[in-house]
C-alpha cells in the first residue's frame, strides 16, 4: 500500500476505464471524503453500494447500482436494482458486475493490516475481484474506525492506495419503540428460548424484541448485522460469554463502536459466510426475526416493493429464513404491524400483487398475535393469519376474500 494525499488521488485514477464501476462501503461506513474526491476526478461512473445512506454523489454521469436499496438511492432516477440474495451478491463481482475501483473505509494500519471495522459485508469479495482484473483498491484510513477481527482484517498488500482521513463515524438516530412495536416485540420474545441463536435487523420492532430478551441466558448471535440492542443484552448477562458474536456489518451509537473495537468476542465475517444457509442451519435454536411490507393469505411476504417500485430488496431475509427453518429447533419469524399507519391499509392482504420476497416462515407476528404457518395446510394458514395476526377492522373482508380464493 502506498499512502498518498487526498489531492493526489485524481492522478492515481487516470488509468481507470471509461464509465468504471466503483464499489464503496455501504450502510453507515461509506468513505464520504475519499468518495467525493473520486466523484470530482471521474466524469462518469457506476456507483455500487449496499443500503446506501443519504449523501452519495448524485449528479449527471453517476449511475446508482445496488442489490439492496437504501434511502440514499431509493429516489434516484438512475437507480439500477440487481435482484439477488445477499449471500450471492459477492458472486456478482466475478460475473456481471466486475469492479474497477473499490473504495473502503478502514481503521489505521496495525501490524501490517487495516480493519474494515463496522462494514465487512461484500467488500472482501469486491477487493479480490478488483485485484484479479487489475483494478484499484483505495482505503480511507480513519483513526475513529474501530478495529474488528475476522474477515475485517485486510493485509496492506491488498490495498493500492491509502488516504488518512480523521472523521466521526455516523450513527443512526435513536429508534423510538412505540406501543405497537413493543407489543410485537413482546409476542416475539416469549417464543425465544434460553440458548437460542439470534438474527435480527434494525428498527423499532427488532429493538423491542431485544429489549424483551434481557432475561434470557446463553443467547448467541449469528446475524448479518447487529446494533445497540446486542450491547444491551451483553450488559444484562443474556449472552453466552463463551460464544463469539458473528456478524457481517453493524452500526449504532459511539458506545457500540467503542465496545467492538479490538473485542475478541466479535467476529466480523464475509457475507458469503454469515448468510450461507447451510452455516446458519448449524446454529443451535436459530431464530431469525425479519419484517415485511405485506403478507398474504398464502403466507407469501413482500419485503421489497411498494406500488411496483423497488423499496429495498431481498437482503438477507431469504438466506436466514431457509437457514433457520433447517436449524434443529430453529424458527423463522416475520414481525410486522398489522396496519400500515402512513398508507392507512392492512399489511395482511388477500393476495400480494408485488413480486414475492419470501414465503412460508414459521410464524407471522403482529401486535394482535402470532399466526403459526409452518406445518399447516393452506386453509389453516389463512385461518391463523386472519384470526391471529390481521387487524380486527379487516378480518371480515379477509374472510370474504379467503372464501373467494377457496381458502376458507
CATH of the domain at 365: 3.40.1080.20
Quick: pLDDT tens for 7-46: 999 999 999 999 999 999 999 999 999 999 999 999 999 9
Q: Where does 218-370 have alpha helices with state H? A: 228-235, 254-260, 271-274, 277-281, 317-325
Q: Which of 118, 137, 164 is the last residue of a domain?
A: 164
Edge-to-edge strand ranges of the sheet holding 101-106: 2-3, 161-164, 136-141, 101-106, 21-24, 45-48, 62-66, 80-81
Quick: pLDDT tens for 350-386: 999 988 998 889 999 999 999 999 999 999 999 999 9
Closest CA to 44 of 30, 57, 32, 31: 57
Q: Is residue 345 part of a domain?
A: yes
Separation CA 376–CA 106 (nearest Å): 48
Task: Tell whether 142 and 287 lie within a shared domain.
Answer: no
Q: Which of 104, 130, 164 is the last residue of a domain?
A: 164
Q: Is residue 45 part of a domain?
A: yes
Q: Is residue 220 part of a domain?
A: yes
Separation CA 314–CA 322 (nearest Å): 13
C-beta separation of 101 from 95 below 8 A: no
Q: Is residue 327 part of a domain?
A: yes
Task: Tell whether 30 and 127 lie within a shared domain.
Answer: yes
Q: Is residue 256 part of a domain?
A: yes
Q: In whole angstroms, how far apart are CA 202 and each of 1, 154, 215, 401?
A: 35, 27, 21, 33
Domain that holds residue 323: 179-404
Residue 377 has a pLDDT of 96
First to last CA, the chain: 66
Task: Tell whether 244 and 347 lie within a shared domain.
Answer: yes
Quick: pLDDT tens for 129-163: 999 999 999 999 999 999 999 999 999 999 999 99
- What total of structural domains would you count in the chain? 2
C-beta separation of 387 from 339 below 8 A: no
Q: Which of 164, 190, 221 is the last residue of a domain?
A: 164
Query: Would you say the pTM of this structure is higher than 0.85?
Result: yes
Confidence of residue 341 (pLDDT cuts 50, 70, 90): confident
Task: Tell whether 264 and 384 lie within a shared domain.
Answer: yes
Residue 197 has a pLDDT of 98
CATH of the domain at 29: 3.40.1080.10
Task: Tell whether 185 and 141 lie within a shared domain.
Answer: no
Average pLDDT over residues 249-259: 96
Task: Tell whether 24 and 160 lie within a shared domain.
Answer: yes
Task: Tell whether 139 and 203 lie within a shared domain.
Answer: no
pLDDT at 174 over 80: no
Amino acid at each position: 500500500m502506498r499512502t498518498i494525499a487526498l489531492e493526489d488521488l485524481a492522478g492515481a485514477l487516470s488509468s481507470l476505464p471509461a464509465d468504471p464501476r466503483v464499489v464503496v462501503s455501504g450502510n453507515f461506513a461509506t468513505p464520504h471524503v475519499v468518495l467525493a474526491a473520486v466523484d470530482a476526478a471521474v466524469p462518469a461512473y457506476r456507483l455500487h453500494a449496499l443500503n446506501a445512506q443519504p449523501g452519495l454523489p448524485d449528479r449527471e454521469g453517476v449511475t446508482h447500482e445496488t442489490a439492496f436499496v437504501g434511502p440514499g438511492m431509493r429516489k434516484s432516477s438512475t437507480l439500477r436494482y440487481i435482484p439477488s440474495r445477499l449471500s450471492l451478491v459477492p458472486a456478482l463481482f466475478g460475473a456481471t458486475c466486475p469492479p474497477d475501483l473499490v473504495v473502503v473505509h478502514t481503521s489505521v494500519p496495525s501490524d501490517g493490516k487495516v480493519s474494515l471495522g463496522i462494514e465487512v459485508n461484500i467488500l472482501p469479495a469486491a477487493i479480490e475481484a478488483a485485484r484479479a482484473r487489475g483494478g484499484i483498491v483505495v482505503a480511507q484510513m480513519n483513526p475513529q474506525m474501530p478495529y474488528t477481527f475476522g474477515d475485517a482484517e485486510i493485509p496492506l498488500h491488498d490495498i493500492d492506495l491509502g488516504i488518512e482521513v480523521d472523521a466521526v463515524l455516523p450513527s443512526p438516530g435513536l429508534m423510538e419503540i412505540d406501543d405497537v412495536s413493543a407489543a410485537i416485540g413482546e409476542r416475539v420474545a416469549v417464543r425465544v428460548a434460553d440458548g437460542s441463536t439470534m438474527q435480527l435487523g434494525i428498527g423499532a420492532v427488532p429493538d423491542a424484541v431485544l429489549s424483551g430478551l434481557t432475561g434470557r441466558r446463553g443467547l448467541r448471535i449469528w446475524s448479518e448485522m447487529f446494533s445497540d440492542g446486542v450491547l444491551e443484552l451483553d450488559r444484562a448477562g443474556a449472552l453466552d460469554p463463551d460464544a463469539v458474536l458473528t456478524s457481517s456489518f453493524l452500526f449504532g451509537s459511539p458506545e457500540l463502536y467503542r465496545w467492538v473495537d479490538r473485542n475478541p468476542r466479535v467476529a466480523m465475517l464475509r457475507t458469503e459466510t454469515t448468510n450461507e444457509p447451510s452455516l446458519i442451519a448449524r446454529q443451535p435454536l436459530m431464530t431469525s426475526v425479519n419484517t415485511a411490507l405485506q403478507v398474504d393469505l398464502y403466507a407469501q411476504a413482500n419485503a421489497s416493493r411498494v406500488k411496483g417500485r423497488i423499496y429495498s430488496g431481498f437482503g438477507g431475509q431469504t438466506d436466514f429464513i431457509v437457514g433457520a427453518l433447517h436449524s434443529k429447533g430453529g424458527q423463522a419469524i416475520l414481525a410486522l404491524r398489522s396496519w400500515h399507519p402512513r398508507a392507512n391499509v392492512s399489511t395482511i392482504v388477500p393476495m400480494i400483487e408485488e413480486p414475492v420476497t419470501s414465503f412460508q416462515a414459521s410464524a407471522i407476528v403482529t401486535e394482535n398475535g402470532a399466526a403459526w404457518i409452518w406445518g399447516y395446510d393452506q386453509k389453516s394458514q389463512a385461518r391463523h393469519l386472519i384470526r391471529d395476526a390481521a387487524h380486527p377492522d379487516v378480518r371480515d373482508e379477509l374472510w370474504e376474500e379467503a372464501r373467494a380464493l377457496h381458502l376458507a
